[in-house]
Structures are given as structure tokens and as C-alpha cells.
Amino acid sequence: MKNLPLIVADGCTLSPDGLADQAGRASRLLPSVAKLECSEDELRVSFRDGVDRALVDEVVATEQRCCSVLEIEYDGAARLLRIAAHDAQGREIVRQMAGFFGEAR
């Protein structure tokens, strides 16, 4: 299984173990990826029916707590994860996440 690059943004509050745990959670979502849309500032990941909602919620909640350079939202009804950036550092993270989730397709 592909590993999420451990991207440590300025201001990230996760410990090294926390980063590894988050990467593991994200990796477990890969089989559920249905579609990807990406621009320089935003990544949209659509998941298949049956995606583990609790796992998505945990990934999103963790990122919302630790990463101030990204705006992260999940629409459970549409099974759509949205990750947006507002600066160069955030755009680099969006680019790397797009590559990671894109490998699932």
C-alpha cells in the first residue's frame, strides 16, 4: 500500500507518531477513492459508496486540528473530501496529496 508523504507544515501540531498514524488512516482510504479533481489550490476526492465514514471523519478531524495552512471539509452525503490551500505551503501539500490519492485510481 502506498504511504502518504509525511508532510510537516509549519505550525503542524502532530508528533512524529501522530503523523505516521494519520498517514496510515489516509492509506486505508485509498481503496474507496472513486474520483479526483485537482487545481493548484484545491483537491476534491470523491469516495465510493461504502467508504468508512468514521475513518474519513477521523482523518478530517485530525487535519483540522493540526494543519492551519489547509481548509478541509467532508460532505458525507456526497462522499466528497475537499482540501483547499491559501498559500504556497498549502498548495505544495495539496499537490502531494493529489499525487497520493491519484495513485488509488
pLDDT at 1: 46
pLDDT tens digits, residue range 18-76? 888 988 999 999 999 999 999 999 999 999 999 999 999 999 999 888 888 889 999 99
d(CA 1, CA 41): 26
Residues 52 and 68: their CA atoms lie apart, in Å, by: 25
**Domain segments of the chain as ranges:** 34-102
Residue, of 93 and 82, whose pLDDT is higher: 82
CATH class of 34-102: alpha beta
Decide: 70 and 93 in contact? Cβ < 8 Å: yes
Query: 22 near 9, Cβ under 8 Å?
Result: no
Residues forming a β-bridge with 57: none
Average the pLDDT over 75-90 and give the result: 94
